[in-house]
């Protein structure tokens, strides 16, 4: 079945008991991921993380086409519910997956697990999407960029969770910078909450000055410059830019989040290329797409950073973020060391 409009929110909050699986797809991969994580908690709240959950990728199915059917039919070793999460970066096994969906839809009693499929954008010709939308026990939910009202609610609710308010002028100036990607908005809200001390001070309010200081796109191009220089291997230029930025009160946390965001974009393009998409098309498929003036630099960074190193670099960014949240942590030094390490690697690969 196909779930659209306001029905999506109601469905995701309380999916019917006879639903075996849900397909989450669309250009907003951040929304696909966040909805998948939330649905997993509702679908099987008591799932055992070791024996009750299985994560399968598209490449896993290329090597073992029967893996998905086996996981869907396997009973839990310790009792309770089971959950299977299928993450699709390509649809090479689309026919087999569509056949499996039809099979379980015809005989739902065979399913011992709930299924969540997370995918990118799918056309109406997709065999998987067709099978799900034509079924009774599976649901398809498209994930597209949030509109202004959705973003406004996301910002307010995200900050309110940390007991932080936001002034009207700050909100209206921030919203245009968050359009296009749910994950970007979530990351920016988390970054702002960190900057405001997670509401440690009663009555904390995000001001327009805060947006201009910390929000991605709300300040000068210094963050983009530092990130570009680091990932392009320009060690001396990056170090000088970083020192000037810190002296100018640019937040090291803001630089770290900018670095993470660029690595995630490179990773998404690299995954698309590994699936057979030409580099130029992979760059244009990003949301937002790579700006024309940045295409040459972005292309060069894709040549420097392979998918394995991008994933490793993202893990290092996340480790630096965790370290920065420790009381009294030398945040400037933590971010500086990370930038120098990345720039050093890139310099050797140029």
Task: Judge if 114 and 172 occupy the same domain.
Answer: no
Q: How does pLDDT run across 287-302, given as a tens digit for each residue?
A: 777 777 688 999 999 9
CATH number at residue 178: 1.10.8.60
The pLDDT assigned to 328 comes to 77
Residues 6 and 137 in one domain: yes
Domain extent for 135: 2-142
Same domain (yes/no): 10, 137: yes
Q: What is the mean pLDDT of residues 320-347?
A: 90
Instruction: Report the CATH number that the domain containing residue 107 is assigned in CATH.
Output: 3.40.50.300
The residue assigned the tokens 């039809």 is 102
pLDDT confidence of residue 31 = 82
| Integer CA distances (angstroms), 349 to 42, 89, 230, 233, 267, in order | 45, 27, 12, 8, 17
pLDDT at 288: 74
Do residues 290 and 348 both lie within one domain?
yes
pTM: 0.53
With CA atoms as reference, report the closest residue to 189 among 145, 151, 147, 146. Answer: 151
Tally the domains of the chain: 3
The tens digit of pLDDT for each residue in 9-40 reads 889 989 999 999 999 999 888 788 888 988 98
Q: Quick one: 127 and 63 in the same domain?
A: yes
Residues 297 and 249 in one domain: yes
Query: Exposure of 260 by Cβ count < 10 A (0-12 exposed, 13-18 middle, 19+ buried)?
Result: buried
Same domain, 191 and 294: no
Q: Which of 136-145, 206-215, 321-330 has the highest mean pLDDT?
A: 136-145
Say if residue 136 is in the same domain as residue 149: no
Please write the tens of the pLDDT for every residue from 114-164: 999 999 889 999 999 999 999 999 999 998 877 778 788 889 988 998 999
Question: Same domain, yes or no, for 7 and 58?
Answer: yes
Are residues 77 and 191 located together in one domain of the fold? no
Concatenating the DSSP letter of every residue in 169-202 gives HHHHHHHHHHTT-HHHHHHHHHHHHHHTGGG-ST
Tell me: do 271 and 337 sit in the same domain. yes
Closest CA to 302 of 349, 261, 254: 349
Contacts of 282 (CB under 8 A, 6+ apart): 269, 270, 272, 273
Q: Cβ neighbours of residue 140 under 8 Å, at least 6 residues apart?
A: 1, 2, 3, 22, 23, 25, 129, 132, 133
């Amino acid at each position: 079945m196909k779930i659209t409009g306001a029905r999506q929110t109601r469905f995701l909050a309380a999916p019917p008991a006879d639903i075996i699986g849900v397909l989450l797809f669309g250009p907003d991969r951040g929304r696909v991921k966040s909805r998948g994580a939330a649905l997993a908690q509702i679908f099987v709240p008591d799932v055992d993380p070791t024996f009750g959950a299985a994560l399968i990728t598209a490449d896993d199915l290329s090597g073992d086409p029967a893996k998905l059917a086996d996981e869907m039919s396997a009973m839990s070793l310790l009792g309770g519910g089971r959950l299977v999460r299928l993450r699709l970066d390509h649809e090479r096994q689309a026919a087999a997956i569509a056949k499996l969906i039809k099979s379980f839809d015809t005989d739902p009693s065979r399913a011992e697990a709930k299924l969540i499929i997370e995918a990118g954008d799918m056309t109406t010709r997709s065999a998987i999407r067709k099978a799900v939308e034509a079924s009774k026990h599976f649901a398809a939910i498209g994930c597209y960029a949030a509109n202004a009202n959705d973003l406004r609610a996301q910002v307010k609710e995200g900050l309110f969770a940390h007991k932080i308010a936001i002034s009207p002028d700050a909100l209206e100036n921030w919203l245009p910078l968050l359009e296009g990607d749910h994950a970007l908005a979530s990351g920016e809200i988390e970054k702002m909450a960190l900057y405001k001390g997670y509401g440690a001070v009663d009555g904390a309010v995000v001001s327009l000055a805060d947006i201009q200081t910390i929000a991605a796109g709300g300040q000068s191009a210094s963050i983009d410059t530092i990130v570009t220089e680091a990932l392009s291997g320009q060690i001396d230029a990056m170090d000088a830019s970083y020192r000037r930025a810190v002296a100018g009160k640019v937040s090291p946390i803001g630089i770290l989040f900018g670095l993470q965001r660029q690595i995630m974009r490179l990773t998404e393009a690299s995954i698309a290329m590994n699936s057979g998409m030409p580099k130029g098309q992979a760059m244009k498929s990003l949301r937002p797409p790579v700006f024309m003036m940045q295409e040459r630099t972005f292309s060069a960074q894709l040549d420097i950073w392979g998918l394995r190193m991008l994933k490793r670099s993202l893990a290092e960014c996340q480790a630096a973020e965790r370290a920065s949240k420790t009381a009294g942590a030398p945040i400037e030094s933590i971010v500086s060391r990370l930038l120098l390490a990345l720039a050093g690697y890139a310099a050797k690969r140029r």
